[in-house]
């Protein structure tokens, strides 16, 4: 009886030794793997400003977000009285000095890689102002972390596309029942081509995406993108391009200024 007890104790202490060695081995391996993994990650090449594995995950995250996207998910709108009068100015890329507003017209390319004259559309601000008006007060969110309740007015992007029969391969007005006819992306660019964004068609067609020419009920100030800017509340402010010069359509991602600097492409909220 006593002998048996003794043996039990011995087994336990041998077990303890064995388990200690195994545990510390695993601990050490994980430590080395973590350290090595970190080094490996930082050694990787960059893809559009982000380390490749990070870029892969950012792209995958966008696919996950796509699952939850719905055009019925609206940004909260506030009464106009809540809108900030002192609107923050946070970027002037593409807003160069040699811009002649009197000569400005919106250039729209109906189809990519087509240089035929009837494929290009020149639209004046007056014409855009004749389209149905949409006024909106919402919390404008910057990727830098701040947000501000601001008021904007203009035309819904979807109304604009419908009116001019844009964004489709067939040249008809976009029809939500025929998504296959729509180009996958819209590209927008400043007149000097210095700032440019690409936006997926679903987000462009969102009922709160507008081509804005008003802020707080008066015409856009220069530093807010006079004469025409994009306001897209379902994305960070980096996508709300000021002073639009060109609009074009594409089935592949149009180039995007901040994407090239390492941000995710869709900047979706």
Partner 1 sequence: MIYWANDIYRVGWGDKTLVKFFPDWFYSVFNLDSHLANGMAFHFFFMWFFFLNGTVYVLYTIISGEWRLLVPNRRSFKEAWQVLLHDLHIRKYEPPSDKYNAAQKIAYTSIIIMGFGSLLTGLSIYKPVQFGWLCTILGGYEWARIEHFVLTIGYVIFFLIHIIQVIIHGWNNFQAMVTGFELKKVKSVPIAENKTTEEIPAK
Among 29, 32, 33, 57, binds partner 1 (CB under 8 A): 57
Largest CA distance in the chain: 105
Query: Which residue number, 249 or 257, has a Cβ lying nearer to partner 1?
Result: 257
Q: What angle do CA 160, 175, 154 make, to 5 degrees?
A: 20
CB of 2 to partner 1, least distance (A): 5
Q: Does 84 bind partner 1 (CB under 8 A)?
A: no
CB of 134 to partner 1, least distance (A): 17
Q: How many residues belong to the site for partner 1 (CB under 8 A)? A: 47
CB of 82 to partner 1, least distance (A): 13
The residue among 241, 57, 86 whose CA lies nearest residue 149 is 86
Q: Does 70 bind partner 1 (CB under 8 A)?
A: yes
What is the helix, strand, coil percentage profile of the chain, to 5? 35, 25, 40
Q: Does 74 bind partner 1 (CB under 8 A)?
A: yes
Cα 207 from Cα 232, distance rounded (Å): 10
CB of 245 to partner 1, least distance (A): 25
Which region among 4-12, 179-187, 209-217, 241-249 touches partner 1 (by CB under 8 A)? 4-12
The upper half-sphere exposure of residue 152, i.e. CA atoms within 13 Å in the direction of its Cβ, equals 29
Interface pattern 193-232 for partner 1 (x via CB under 8 A): ----------------------------------------
Cα 214 from Cα 112, distance rounded (Å): 30
The upper half-sphere exposure of residue 148, i.e. CA atoms within 13 Å in the direction of its Cβ, equals 15
Interface pattern 145-184 for partner 1 (x via CB under 8 A): xxx-------------------------------------
The residue among 183, 177, 188 whose CA lies nearest residue 210 is 188
Q: Does 43 bind partner 1 (CB under 8 A)?
A: no
Which region among 19-27, 115-123, 170-178, 194-202 touches partner 1 (by CB under 8 A)? 19-27
Q: Does 93 bind partner 1 (CB under 8 A)?
A: no
C-alpha pair distances (Å), 156 with each of 80, 159, 205, 235: 18, 5, 8, 15
Cα 11 from Cα 18, distance rounded (Å): 10
CB of 109 to partner 1, least distance (A): 29
Contact 139, 78 (CB under 8 A): yes
């Amino acid at each position: 009886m006593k002998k048996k007890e003794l043996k039990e104790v011995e087994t336990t202490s041998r077990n303890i030794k064995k388990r200690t060695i195994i545990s510390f081995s695993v601990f050490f391996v994980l430590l080395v793997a973590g350290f090595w993994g970190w080094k490996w990650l930082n050694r990787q090449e960059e893809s559009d400003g982000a380390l490749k594995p990070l870029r892969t995950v950012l792209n995958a995250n966008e696919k996950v977000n796509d699952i939850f996207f719905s055009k019925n998910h609206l940004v909260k709108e506030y009464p106009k009285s809540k809108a900030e009068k002192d609107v923050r100015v946070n970027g002037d890329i593409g807003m160069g000095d040699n811009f002649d507003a009197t000569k400005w017209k919106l250039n729209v390319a109906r189809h990519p890689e087509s240089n035929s004259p009837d494929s290009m559309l020149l639209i004046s601000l007056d014409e855009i102002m004749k389209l149905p008006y949409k006024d909106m007060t919402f919390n404008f969110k910057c990727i830098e972390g701040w947000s501000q309740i601001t008021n904007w007015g203009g035309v819904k992007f979807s109304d604009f596309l419908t009116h001019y029969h844009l964004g489709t391969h067939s040249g008809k007005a976009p029809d939500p029942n025929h998504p296959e006819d729509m180009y996958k992306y819209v590209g927008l660019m400043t007149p000097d081509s210095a700032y440019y964004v690409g936006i997926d068609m679903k987000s462009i067609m969102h009922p709160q995406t507008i081509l804005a020419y008003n802020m707080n009920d008066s015409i856009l100030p220069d530093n807010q993108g006079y004469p025409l800017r994009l306001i897209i509340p379902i994305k960070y402010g980096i996508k709300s391009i000021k002073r639009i010069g060109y609009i074009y359509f594409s089935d592949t991602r149009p180039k995007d200024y901040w994407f090239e600097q390492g941000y995710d492409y869709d900047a979706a909220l």
